[in-house]
Structures are given as structure tokens and as C-alpha cells.
Amino acid sequence: GAGVSQTPSNKVTEKGKYVELRCDPISGHTALYWYRQSLGQGPEFLIYFQGTGAADDSGLPNDRFFAVRPEGSVSTLKIQRTERGDSAVYLCASSPGSGNTGELFFGEGSRLTVL
């Protein structure tokens, strides 16, 4: 079966522009996570969805970042007024349900470069 799919794989944009990154989780997975991985760092938690609702968005760095999951499947991470510091690989992961003992299934990431 298909794994977690993220598009685009690469995105280059100019400072100040708006960006959308899409995540298509494994079918049937109710939990969806966004992480951000900056150069030389491990993934950092951004937001967690259980179904359609954002159960925890405490990792979003500021109000320029927003994510939705309107039908409980595909999720979109939206970044407004991009800044050079937003350059990173944005990782999406899904899991069958909530809880922390299970495995996260990661996509290959969307590499964002802000010029």
C-alpha cells in the first residue's frame, strides 16, 4: 500500500510569499503530525491532528503558520509571509491512532527554501 505522500518535494519561494505544503497520510490513519527539520537538527514537533481537529498546535512557531485537515485525511500546512528562517524540511507523519507507543510513518518531506 501507499505510504505517506508529501507534495511538493521541493519548493523555492521568495521572502514574503505564501506557501502551502500538502500531506496525504496512510489510508485509515487517524493521527497526523507535522514536524520541521532544520539543517543539522532533528525533527521538531509543530502540530498534531486527531481526525479533523488540531489536538495540539503548540509547536507552531508563530501565527504565520497554520494547518488544516478538513476531512480527516489530507492535511495542508500553510505559511504566510515566508521568511528566510522558515527554510527547512517539513515532515509529515501519520499513525493509526493516538498514543505514544506506536510507530510514526513519515513521508519523505517537503524541502522549503526561502530566498
Give the number of residues in contact with another protein, rule: CB under 8 A: 28
Q: Is 72 in the site for another protein (CB under 8 A)?
A: no
Q: Rounded to the nearest whole angstrom, what is the least distance from the CB of residue 95 to another protein in the complex? A: 8
Handedness of CA 52, 46, 37, 79 (dihedral sign): positive
Q: Is 104 in the site for another protein (CB under 8 A)?
A: yes
Q: Is 1 in the site for another protein (CB under 8 A)?
A: no
Cβ distance 112 to 86 under 8 Å? Answer: yes
Measuring CA to CA, which residue among 38, 17, 21 is closest to residue 85?
Answer: 38
Comparing CB distances to another protein, the nearer of 34 and 82 is 34
Cβ distance 82 to 114 under 8 Å? Answer: yes
Q: Is 65 in the site for another protein (CB under 8 A)?
A: no
Cβ distance 47 to 34 under 8 Å? Answer: yes
Q: Is 40 in the site for another protein (CB under 8 A)?
A: yes
- The residues that bridge with 88 in the sheet, in sequence order, are 112
**Which residues of the shown chain bind another protein in the complex (CB under 8 A)?**
3-4, 31, 33, 35, 40-45, 48, 55-56, 59, 91, 93, 98-101, 103-109
